[in-house]
Structure 1
């Protein structure tokens, strides 16, 4: 059975989930707030922090070399597909609350992650 502990790290607006594999005695990280895949690892907290920063800097340099905009941490917009009956129900709930559908959904999502 694998024994792991997870935590988060942040660098320049990028967020990574960190997992420590006690059996292998190594930290693994993966950036989670963008579509591109960025992973890194280190054998100590200091090494892991440096690997995270280096990975982000390498990613930004790679994008610049190719003349591409790097994938930014999420824009704040996403499309949600729902069954029509659910769409109607949440629209009604928003109207009863006296707010826009967007505001109702954002407020409901914020409450659910606290």
Structure 2
């Protein structure tokens, strides 16, 4: 089971450890390792909020910028023939290149929106 929680722009991946009967969370999308755990959902949410706040405060104390999660803006360099083929595919799909690329990347990364017919 894999779920996520979001707070102040940070996302945590949550897993359930059935051996210890606790929820274990870890901030996603940053290089620093920030983890937390709790035995209840309410406790987990509180631990998550505290760990984000502590992380931001610790970075400030150390004079480091806290790593921000991905902004959603992405610059890609691709071969001209790939760019051309992607433009053609987007036009064929009736969407902008940006919408088409976002959907394709999302599907490839396993986070695509699932449309039910």
Distance 2:103 2:16 in 1: 33
TM-score, L = length of structure 1: 0.72
Distance 1:13 1:52 in 2: 12
Aligned residue pair count: 109
Which residue number corresponds to residue 44 of structure 2? 48
Which runs of no fewer than 5 residues in structure 1 stay unpaired?
none
SS in 1 for 2:65: coil
Which residue number corresponds to residue 22 of structure 1? 18
Distance 1:87 1:6 in 2: 34
TM-score, L = length of structure 2: 0.71
Which residue number corresponds to residue 4 of structure 2? 8
